[in-house]
Amino acid sequence: MKCDVAQRSIVQYVYGELPDEGCHDLELHVAGCEPCRNELQVYEALRQALALAPVVEPSASLLAQSRIRLDDALDQMPAPTLRMRLETGVMGFFAQLRAAPGMAVALAALGLGLGATAGHYWNRSSSVQPTGIHSSLSSNWTAVSAPSVANISQIVRHPETHMVEVHFNQVVPSTVEGSMDDPEVQKLLLLAAQNTANPNLRSDSVGLLAEQCKAGQYCQGGPVRTALMVALRYDRDPSVRLKALEGLQPYVAQDSRVRDAILESLMHDPSQPIRNRALQMLEPVNADSSVRIVLQTVSSRDVNPAMREASLKVLHSIPETE
Amino acid sequence: MESRRFAILPLETLSMPHSSSAPPRIQSKTRMYADSTARVQDAELIREAQKGSREAFDALVRQYDQAVLRLALHLTGSEQDAQDIHQEAFLKAYRHIGSFRFECSFYTWIYRIVTNLCLDHLRRRKTRREDSAIMVDAAGEEHDTMTNVSDERAMANPARELERKMLGAQIQAALETLTPRERTVFELKHYHGLRLRTIGEMLNTTEETAKNTLFRATRKLRTQLAELR
C-alpha cells in the first residue's frame, strides 16, 4: 500500500468504514511507516477532541412542545380523501417512472397508441360521409384495412374530378422479440407486471420474471426484484403473488427487504397456500431474530390452528444457539 | 404503543468505529433483536397509516421524533428552527406516506426528508453566519449549548469547566466552516454513526461521494482544530 492510498483510507478506518482486507493492509502499512502512523494518530486525536462537544439531547419540554405542535398541525390537515389517496398513488407512480425512464417511454408509446385508436373511433362515429365520394372509395376501404386506421387527418377533394385525397394515420401493433437479458424486453415485462386491467398479462410477466430470478439471472437488486416484492405485497391475484414469492426465494437469506416482504405475507396474506409457502421459505433463515418474532406471533395468535402448529414446529426446530 | 417511545435505528445503517472498543456481544444481540422487532412493527404501522390510520402514523412519529429533533437541533443550533424542521418533516411524511413503497426503511426515508430540510436551512443561513455555540430557545432567548452538557467533574472545577466551554466553542466554530453538505455528512457519520452507504441514500448521492465529502470535512476540521490536539 502506498502512502497516499493509506492516508486516504485513514478516515474510513477511523470511522469503521474500511473493509476488513483494507484494514489489514492499512495496519501492516502503518506499522512500518512513521508518517502514516502519525497521520492515524492525528485523526484518532481529532475524534477524541470532537467528543468534547457531544450531541445535546433535546430537552423533555422541547420534545413535548414539538409533539403538541405537530399534533395540532396534523389535526388541522384534512383526513386523506379517496381523491387525495389517488393523487398520492399517481404521484408515486410518476416517481417510479422517473426512476425508470425506459418504462416511461414505453408508457408514452402505449398512450399514443390508445389515443390514436380513440381518435379513429371518434372519427368513424362522427364523420359525415358524402355519398358520392364514399361510393368511389368503398372498394379500396377494405384494402386499407379499417381497424388499422387510427384517424383521418385531412381530406382534400380535387376540383372538377371525382378524386379525393385522404390523409390518415395507422395504428401498427408491434411485436418485440428478444432474450430475457434484453433491457427493452425487461422493461416491457415490468410494465406488464403492473397492468391492473389484465390479470393474465400480470401472471405471465410476473411468472417469467420470477423464473429468471429463481434461476439467479437478471435479478441482482434493481427493478426486477422490487417488482416481485411489489407484486407479492399488492397484487390482488393470489396466483400472481405466489409466483412472485417463488421468484424471491434465492434472496431470502441475503436481502432483508425480501425477508420482510415474505414475513408480511406469512402474517397477513389472505391466501393459505401463500402463507404455507412463505413459512417453508423462511426455514433456512429461521434463526434470524425478525423471523423468530413473526413465528412466535403466528404460533401464538394466528386464527388458523394449522398455521399456529406449523409455526410452532419450525420454532421448536431452531437450535438454541444463544 | 407506550413501550416504543425511543428510536431504534436499523442495525444496517449503523457502523462502529475501529477505534472504539467493541460492545459486549450480549448488547449486540439485544440490539439486533430490537432492530428486527422495530422493522417488522414499522412495516405494519406504515401499512395502517397508508390506509389512513392516524394512530398508526402517530406511533411512527413517537418512534422517530426524538432522533429527528436531535439531528435538527444539532445541525441548526436553534430550538425554534429544530421544531420547525421536526414539524415540516413529519407533515411531509404524512402527506406522502401513501407513496412509501418499502424500498428503504422508514428511518432512512424520514431521515432523508429531515436532512434535506436541514441542508436547505444551512444553505439559507450560510449568508448570515451566526455563532452556533449560542443556541436560541423556543422563547427566543440565547444560551450556550455547552451549559446543557452535564459534567459533574467539571462543575467541581471551575477552571476545567471554562476550558471545556472554550473547547466546545472552538469545535462549533470549526463545524461552521464546513459547507452545508460537508456538515450534514459529518454530522450523520460522526455524531449519528450512520453508514456512508445510508448517508449517500439519504442525500441522493453515492457512497463514494459521501466518502469523499467526509474526507474533505475531516481534513478541514483537522486544520481548524490543530491546536486542540
Among chain B residues, CA nearest to A296: B37
Q: What is d(CA B202, CA B212) in angstroms, rounded to the nearest whole number?
A: 16
Res A162: pLDDT = 73
Q: Does A91 have pLDDT greater than 80?
A: no
Report the percent of chain A where pLDDT is more than 90. 4
Across the interface, whether the CB atoms of A69 and B87 are under 8 A apart is answered yes
Segment 2-41 of chain B within 8 Å of chain A by CB: 12, 15-19, 29, 32-33, 36-37, 39-40
How would residue A20 be classed by pLDDT, with cut points 50, 70 and 90?
confident
pLDDT, tens only, B39-81: 677 888 898 888 888 888 999 999 899 989 998 988 888 889 9
A248-258 burial: b if 16+ Cβ within 10 Å, else e: bbbbbeeebbb
- Of residues A210 and B29, the one with the higher pLDDT is A210
CA distance, residue A110 to nearest chain B CA (Å) = 24
The answer to whether residue B30 scores a pLDDT higher than 60 is no
Give me the interface pTM, i.e. the ipTM: 0.70
Structural contact between residues B60 and B106, judged by C-beta atoms closer than 8 angstroms: yes
Q: Do B70 and A230 touch (CB under 8 A)?
A: no
A313 membership: H or E segment, kind and range = helix A305-317
Q: What pLDDT is stored for residue A126 in this prediction?
A: 52
Judged by CB atoms closer than 8 Å, whether chains meet at A45 and B229 is answered as yes
Q: If pLDDT is split at 50, 70 and 90, which confidence band does A215 have?
A: confident
Q: What is the pLDDT of residue B22?
A: 36
Across residues A285-309, what is the average pLDDT? Answer: 86
Instruction: Please report the pLDDT score of residue B93 as a whole number.
Output: 92
In whole angstroms, give the CA distance from residue B96 to residue B203.
18
Q: Which of A8, A54, A230 sits opposite B101 (nearest CB)?
A: A230
Q: What is the 3-state secondary structure (H, E, C) of chain B?
A: CCCCCCCCCCHHHECCCCCCCCCCHHHHHHHHHHHHHHHHHHHHHHHHHHCCCHHHHHHHHHHHHHHHHHHHHHHHCEHHHHHHHHHHHHHHHHHHHHHCCCCCCHHHHHHHHHHHHHHHHHHHHCCCCCCCCEEECCCCCEEEHHHHCCCHHHHCCHHHHHHHHHHHHHHHHHHHCCCHHHHHHHHHHHHCCECHHHHHHHCCCCHHHHHHHHHHHHHHHHHHCHHHC
Which among B43, B94, B189 has CB closest to A260? B43
Share of chain B above pLDDT 70, in %: 65
For the cut 70, the answer to whether the pLDDT of residue A81 exceeds it is no
Q: For residue A40, which amino acid is it?
A: L
Better-scored residue on pLDDT, B146 or B34: B34
Residues A157-177 have a mean pLDDT of 76
Mean of all residue pLDDT scores within chain A = 78
pLDDT tens digits, one per residue of A112-147: 777 777 766 666 555 444 444 444 444 444 445 555
Q: What is the pLDDT of residue B227?
A: 65
Query: B99, A92: Cβ pair inside 8 Å?
Result: yes
Minimal C-alpha gap between B30 and chain A (Å): 10
CB A315 within 8 A of CB A299: yes
> Does the pLDDT value for residue A322 go beyond 80?
no
pLDDT for residue B13? 54
For B148-191, write each residue's pLDDT tens digit: 444 444 445 666 667 777 777 888 888 888 999 999 999 899 88
A195 vs A26, higher pLDDT: A26
Number of C-beta neighbours around residue B79 at 10 A: 25
Which of B18, B47, B70 lies nearest to residue A13, judging by beta carbons?
A: B18
B19 has a pLDDT exceeding 50 = no
For residue B83, what is its C-alpha cell? 421544531
pLDDT tier at B130, thresholds 50, 70, 90: very low
pLDDT at A175: 81
User: Looking at per-residue confidence, does A242 or A170 come out higher?
Assistant: A242
**Residue range A42-61, pLDDT digits in tens:** 888 888 878 776 777 888 88
Residue B124 distance to chain A (closest CA, Å): 23
